[in-house]
Amino acid sequence: MSRKPAHLAVYDTFADWETGHTTAHLARAGYGIRTVGPTREPVTTIGGVRIQPDLALEEVRPEDSSLLILAGADLWDTSDDLAPFAREARAFLDAGVPVAAICGATAGLAREGLLDDRAHTSAVSFYLAATGYRGGAHYVDTDAVTDGKLVTAGPTEPVAFAREVFRLLGVYEGEVLDAWYRLFHDSDAEAYAVLQQAGQ
């Protein structure tokens, strides 16, 4: 079965560690991973890794994608440079295509008004409150939240973030999804056996 690719937004100060579980297991499940930068010029992650984007943001169309992934970055809080990515997230959600945002990207979505009426989470509630958004009543103090086609998570929860993406896209389900989470989040050796039996 041919799947549309997942699009991973990349930009200077991109938080390398936040999306690795998500993209690795999506790729293993047959999703192509396409990186999307502000332009096609190289960007440098917060860990000093240089990435050459496959596409510029202006080239991305929701109808060609399975998912838009937005990671944290210092730039979400220090400038408006990444606001175009939040606007693209709106276009994806309006088109019914999933968006997954972790860490500082949640603040970008808050500023764009995308969390005003959706259940969501982030690092802490007052981090988002500082954006002036109107969605405080929908904040959930948990590891990761899915509301419709939107996944959000805080910076310390890359495994829970991946779990919600896999559930939303149907990559893993039920006992297998639970085992995957227990293995990578809790180092549960028994969960490994479940995954082996499931051929994962």
Which letter, b or e, does each residue of 147-169 get, where b requires 16 or more Cβ atoms within 10 Å of its Cβ?
eebbbbbbbebbbbbbbbbbbbb
DSSP 50-69: EE--SEEGGG--GGG-SEEE
Instruction: Determine which one of 57, 103, 110, 151 is catalytic.
Output: 103
* Helix, strand, or coil (residue 132): coil
- Distance CA(173)–CA(171), nearest Å, equals 7
103 catalytic per annotation: yes
Q: Which residues contact 185 (CB under 8 A, 6 or more apart)?
A: 159, 160, 163
Token pair 């936040």 is found at 18
> Which residues are catalytic, by number?
103
